[in-house]
Chains A and B, each alone.
Chain A
Amino acid sequence: MPVIEVKRSRLPDIPDEELEEILHMIKAPVEEKGEVWKLEITNDRPDLLFSSGVKRDVLGFIGKETGIPNYKPTPSGIKVVSRCPSRPFLGCFVVKSADFDVQELMDFQEKLNVSLGRNRVKAAIGIHDFKKIKPPLEYLSGKPGEKMRPLGMDSELTLKDILVKHPKGREYAHLADGFPVIKDFHGIISFPPIINSWRTRVTEETRDLFIEVTGTDEKTVTHVVSILACNLAEAGGKVFSIEVGQKVFPELEPKQVELDPSYVEKVLGLGMGVDEICEILERRRFSVMRIGDSLRVLVPSFRTDILHQVDLVEEIAIGYGYNNIRPRIPSVPCAGKLLSNGWDAAREIMIGLGFQEVMTFILADPREQFEKMRINGSAVELKNPTTERMSICRVWLLPGLMRILSKNMHAEYPQKIFEVGDCILPDENSENGSKTVRRICGAVSHDRVNLTEIKSIVEALFKNLKIEYRVRPASHPSFIEGRCAEVVVSGKPCGFFGEVHPEVLVSWGMEKPVGAFEFELFSSEKNIEK
């Protein structure tokens, strides 16, 4: 989320601690304090990207200034002709004697370009010194050979050359289709969305601004103009409107949103009266009219984030204070308890048998799952894996344990590890083409590990879990022929154990033998008593 830097002196004159607390609640938490404060601004509040916007919100929160702010623009008498098909929308206005820091304004502009403006595509802002501009103004498609001295260059360049020679030109050349330009009496003042002219540049002495916003999305252009105009008006500026074709900018008429107090109660459940709801909304800088049982809320034009009455409910919760909402245990007739699901018992038994529990990733490497284990098979594949090592869902756990053993050949032996985890198997009969099974897998490695040792561990596990089982010889490509067995529970095989095949050990680069088992102990629904 964007971080802005604001001089402390531009924020309300209340104790630092109180201010920090409030900023936290209005979605502008403090990252750093000092002469300059760094605030992290939530993405849905672009109006807070400038100090005056933050101040307006805080003053409302503490009840010092409430209700919808009134910024009525005065007609400037200026009309702009707009005819640039490749970037069709323009909104512009003039603001005089606003109190701002040039650097902060430039940062604000750039953050709006990036966020609301979608990196200058939907909308891009140009800010000029109004005193250096001579109407009439016109917005049109320029010619590649026309010249302007851009900011950051010491001579005139053709528009075509700006796209090659100017850093911003190179960065945004892909948006320069049709060479949009804004001209005044003397020539080009702006080449949106690339760069402004040096002639109309803003300096420390500038107090009167001409602000133009161009873009490909009309609504975004209107929003960006509103936010700029309202924040500069809040900073003490006087806003003058400009006619662009049939429209007048800035468009600062509030939006009306109906709010049903019973809906507020349904969402928040705080038992608030209508008076309290109105009082809080006024503190959050809205104005409220009562229409019978319902409320009509006037939403200022800079609050582009209010899309639905639920957003006003959020404002009410913010104004009430999230920290003032007390947790309450719901009055339900029973309390829950933890399921003892057998797997935990199995894990404790394994730990009791001296095994170290590990957890490996569910996403796996197909070579490790199959080739290195001497088996073939299919797995659920990721459509867009970032690496081959994590491109399928594991179909069994043993490769994960082999991997850990192979990485720990320097560690003390014997090594005994186990994992309880989910595997995801392709399943044509299931709705999503896969099924998830939970398994337990153990591996033992030292010089003299053998089938007998693994069998004794497996039997200890099943006996302690009080599961009736039978063992019968089996064959599995990952294990040595004749040193492998499967366990049958209720007539069905539930897994296998044995001595890992030497070719598998070699493929993992391992020097000591490994004995291992892997079982599906319980079907997912079945729970056993501990």
Chain B
Amino acid sequence: VYFDSLGKWVEVGGAGLLRPEVLEPLKIRKPVIAWGLGFTRLAMFALGIDDIRNLFSENLNWLRRKEVYAGNRG
């Protein structure tokens, strides 16, 4: 993902096709894709957090002041 604030590309996750050697023993005949995103980095950017410790903070005052984006639910 390109971040304007950093002026560079940041790796946030990996994706790919599973190797046939992995699928064959499981008798899976269709190709399988898998992907995973590093949630912490994205969350830090989305919430404007620059210290990873704050993402795991137990500080209620910090949490109360923090804007939270709830997204579109249902």
Residues of chain B contacted by A358 (CB below 8 angstroms): 63
CA A314 to CA B68, docked complex, whole Å: 41
The answer to whether A403 and B73 touch across the interface, beta carbons within 8 angstroms, is no
The answer to whether A417 and B60 touch across the interface, beta carbons within 8 angstroms, is yes
Residues of chain B contacted by A417 (CB below 8 angstroms): 60
Q: Beyond the given A267-B31, A310-B17, A408-B61, could you list 9 further A-B residue pairs with CB under 8 A, ordered by the A residue number? A: A267-B17, A310-B20, A340-B73, A344-B73, A356-B64, A403-B58, A404-B60, A407-B58, A408-B59
CA A310 to CA B63, docked complex, whole Å: 48
Q: Which of B16-56 contact A (CB under 8 A)?
A: 17, 19-21, 31
Contact mask for chain B residues 6-23; partner A; CB cutoff 8 A; 1 contact, 0 none: 000000000001011100
15 contacts between A and B (CB under 8 A): A308-B19, A308-B20, A310-B17, A310-B20, A339-B74, A344-B74, A356-B60, A403-B58, A404-B60, A407-B59, A408-B59, A408-B61, A411-B60, A411-B61, A415-B60
Question: How many chain-A residues does the 8 Å CB contact rule pick out?
Answer: 21
Residues of chain A contacted by B64 (CB below 8 angstroms): 356, 411
Asked if A177 is at the interface (CB within 8 A of a chain B CB), the reply is no
CA A530 to CA B64, docked complex, whole Å: 27
CA A358 to CA B73, docked complex, whole Å: 18
Asked if A389 is at the interface (CB within 8 A of a chain B CB), the reply is no
| 3 pairs of A and B residues whose beta carbons are closest in the complex | A340-B74, A408-B60, A411-B60
CA A340 to CA B73, docked complex, whole Å: 8
CA A357 to CA B17, docked complex, whole Å: 37
Chain B residue with minimal CB distance to A313?
B17
Chain B residues at the A interface, C-beta cutoff of 8 Å: 17, 19-21, 31, 58-61, 63-64, 68, 73-74
Asked if A291 is at the interface (CB within 8 A of a chain B CB), the reply is no
Contact mask for chain A residues 400-427; partner B; CB cutoff 8 A; 1 contact, 0 none: 0001100110011001010000000000
Contact mask for chain A residues 23-58; partner B; CB cutoff 8 A; 1 contact, 0 none: 000000000000000000000000000000000000
Residues of chain B contacted by A344 (CB below 8 angstroms): 73-74
The answer to whether B19 and A310 touch across the interface, beta carbons within 8 angstroms, is yes
CA A404 to CA B74, docked complex, whole Å: 30
CA A339 to CA B73, docked complex, whole Å: 9
Residues of chain A contacted by B19 (CB below 8 angstroms): 308, 310
Asked if A266 is at the interface (CB within 8 A of a chain B CB), the reply is yes
Chain A nearest CB, measured from B67 CB (Å): 13
Asked if A338 is at the interface (CB within 8 A of a chain B CB), the reply is yes
CA A108 to CA B62, docked complex, whole Å: 49
Residues of chain B contacted by A403 (CB below 8 angstroms): 58
Residues of chain A contacted by B73 (CB below 8 angstroms): 338, 340, 344, 348
Chain B nearest CB, measured from A314 CB (Å): 8
Chain B residue with minimal CB distance to A268?
B17
Chain A nearest CB, measured from B8 CB (Å): 11
Please tell me which one of the listed residues A339, A408, A415 contacts residue B58 in the complex, with CB atoms under 8 A apart: A408
The answer to whether A266 and B20 touch across the interface, beta carbons within 8 angstroms, is no
Residues of chain B contacted by A411 (CB below 8 angstroms): 59-61, 64
Chain A nearest CB, measured from B28 CB (Å): 14
Chain A residue with minimal CB distance to B74?
A340
Please tell me which one of the listed residues B21, B58, B68 contacts residue A404 in the complex, with CB atoms under 8 A apart: B58
Chain A nearest CB, measured from B71 CB (Å): 10
The answer to whether A308 and B31 touch across the interface, beta carbons within 8 angstroms, is no
Residues of chain B contacted by A308 (CB below 8 angstroms): 19-21
Chain A residue with minimal CB distance to B20?
A310
Chain A nearest CB, measured from B20 CB (Å): 5
The answer to whether A266 and B58 touch across the interface, beta carbons within 8 angstroms, is no
Chain B nearest CB, measured from A478 CB (Å): 20
CA A414 to CA B63, docked complex, whole Å: 15
Q: Which of A258-295 contact B (CB under 8 A)?
A: 266-267
Chain A nearest CB, measured from B68 CB (Å): 8
CA A134 to CA B54, docked complex, whole Å: 65
CA A344 to CA B61, docked complex, whole Å: 24
Looking at A310, A403, A415, A417, the one whose CB has the most chain B CB atoms below 10 A away is A310
Residues of chain A contacted by B21 (CB below 8 angstroms): 308
CA A408 to CA B59, docked complex, whole Å: 6
CA A411 to CA B19, docked complex, whole Å: 52
Chain B residue with minimal CB distance to A403?
B58
Residues of chain A contacted by B63 (CB below 8 angstroms): 356, 358
Chain B nearest CB, measured from A267 CB (Å): 6
The answer to whether B58 and A530 touch across the interface, beta carbons within 8 angstroms, is no
The answer to whether B31 and A266 touch across the interface, beta carbons within 8 angstroms, is yes
CA A356 to CA B74, docked complex, whole Å: 21
Chain B nearest CB, measured from A436 CB (Å): 19
CA A358 to CA B61, docked complex, whole Å: 12
Chain B residue with minimal CB distance to A309?
B20
Chain A residue with minimal CB distance to B18?
A310
**Given that A308-B19, A308-B21, A310-B20 are contacting pairs, would A530 and B61 also be in contact in the complex, using a CB cutoff of 8 Å?**
no
Chain A nearest CB, measured from B42 CB (Å): 15
